[in-house]
Amino acid sequence: MLNTPRAYGGMTTAPHHLASRAGARVLEQGGNALEAMVAMAATIAVVYPHMNAIGGDGFWIAHAPGSEPVGIQACGPAARMAAPEHYAEIGFTDAIPGRGGPAALTVAGTVAGWQEAMAVAGEWGGRMPLADLLADAIHYARDGTAVCASQARLTQDKLAELAGVPGFADAFLVDGAVPGEGTRQRFPALAATLQRLAEAGLDDFYRGDVARALAADLETAGSPVRLADLEAYRAQRVAPLSLAIRGARLFNMPPPTQGLASLAILGILDRLERRDTSGAGFVHDTVEATKQAFLVRNAKVVDPAFMDVEPASLLDDREIARMAAGVDRETAAPWPQPAVPGDTIWMGAVDGEGRAVSFIQSIYWEFGSGVVSPATGVLWQNRGMSFSLDPAHGNALVPGRLPFHTLNPALALFDDGRAMTYGTMGGEGQPQTQAAIFARYGWGGLGLQQAVTEPRWLLGRTWGAESTNLKLEDRFSPDTVAVLRAAGHDVELVEAFSDTMGHAGAIVRHPDGLLEGATDPRADGCVAAF
């Protein structure tokens, strides 16, 4: 898939085709890009439920031509009861468990993010009723959606650790068995919840009937989250981090996300004057830049209220130069750092007025905590298990603290007037894939779809395991593989178009209004446009 779809009216891209089409329908009806994204976010939470849910977190970057981009931080804090002492009392002293009620320890920010996005959409002149935006999601939850291959596979792979988690089997098994690819799956309780939100408003998720039902079910499941935690939560508008490079300004989310690392990688490559994106040299430089950026991320990025440095200062010229100086252009640096897991979805939308949205929504691991509220059908994330129970740790568990996030949506504004919204799923793969796509399109001159389709790599985690080696799709040439191994990289080859490499996408708007889009052949998505 190398042909880049083009249009002028409006465009969406998502890792599931039904989400793309839900957003395009809104754009065709006169909605703006933010309204389209709310429809897409709701839909993909139903049709791609192993990767995201309304019981997760989300981040947005929204840009209207002639104004500075705005960020929406929709990640919830640790519950008031979620302290190391609580976990010690229930038998956890070394680490927070990854599944079950105790793993569901942070407030889900996703729906509050939709709410704030609707507020910004109104400032853009949006007037579409919420019920219209949630209609597709309600339909698919009530009438059914076809299980995709990755959901079928991951349900089977994770069943042993999830089968006994409260609510999981009832929600995700069909007639007591793992649903196969193409099986029709319905989520009636979730449909009713979405219908309730459409009628009562999104605030009901935190301060209404839905909130009360959620809080009761979470407590029963063993979660420390209580109604008071939900009632206190609201999403926040934040200023994105930015970095000027030759030819463009780049934007990404501030901490607690790893957006700083995504910007730093491209800043380092720019400082190294890397423009050729075709061979082993590009992969090597990008991997080594990633190592430098991740060292800073690992040392500094947590909840910004707990940081001892201003995040923007880590992207100033001196810091970028220092990181660039740490890159050996010939030899791989050792990389014993543990990988950071995380799976998610990224989506983009641009309307006919040029307003662009880069959006990401996640439950952290596949199926999150596994806890599904019986009354609401809401699957809850396990983002909070990334906290440490060691009070001396840089990301120690503290009630009210925001967890570290791999999530980071990206936006680029080119000096020539082009605007590019782009991103990917995939934990630590997100900054790496963002760098590959931007560089291949912005510097290497590849078509947008080709930039997404080209073979990719991943330093760090593959699905289901932690590792620190360098994984390459086997579509790279033998010469490239040989050069990288000779430079000292611990190379592992994985199959072509592997899910390991994430589900990426991008949309570019040209100054004359032309829209170009790309979707990842590794996913189940499409570009939808008119």
Give the position of tokens 């089968």. 163
Is 12 labeled as catalytic in the residue annotation? no
**Closest Cα partner for 43 from 347, 304, 364, 327?**
347
**Closest Cα partner for 10 from 98, 22, 1, 90?**
22
Tokens representing 29 are 């009806």
- Amino acid (one-letter) located at 278: S
Tokens representing 69 are 């981009």
Report the C-alpha gap between 193 and 199 in whole angstroms: 10
Q: Which residues pair with 388 in a beta bridge?
A: 396
Alpha helices in 242-374 (DSSP H): 259-271, 280-300, 317-325
Report the C-alpha gap between 74 and 479 in whole angstroms: 44
Report the C-alpha gap between 412 and 61 in whole angstroms: 11
- Amino acid (one-letter) located at 180: G
Report the C-alpha gap between 230 and 232 in whole angstroms: 5
Strand, helix or coil at 387? coil
Integer CA distances (angstroms), 329 to 4, 269, 333, 335, in order: 33, 11, 10, 16
**Closest Cα partner for 110 from 165, 51, 178?**
51
Catalytic residue among 4, 13, 155, 344: 344
**Closest Cα partner for 372 from 176, 99, 147?**
99
Residues known to be catalytic: 344
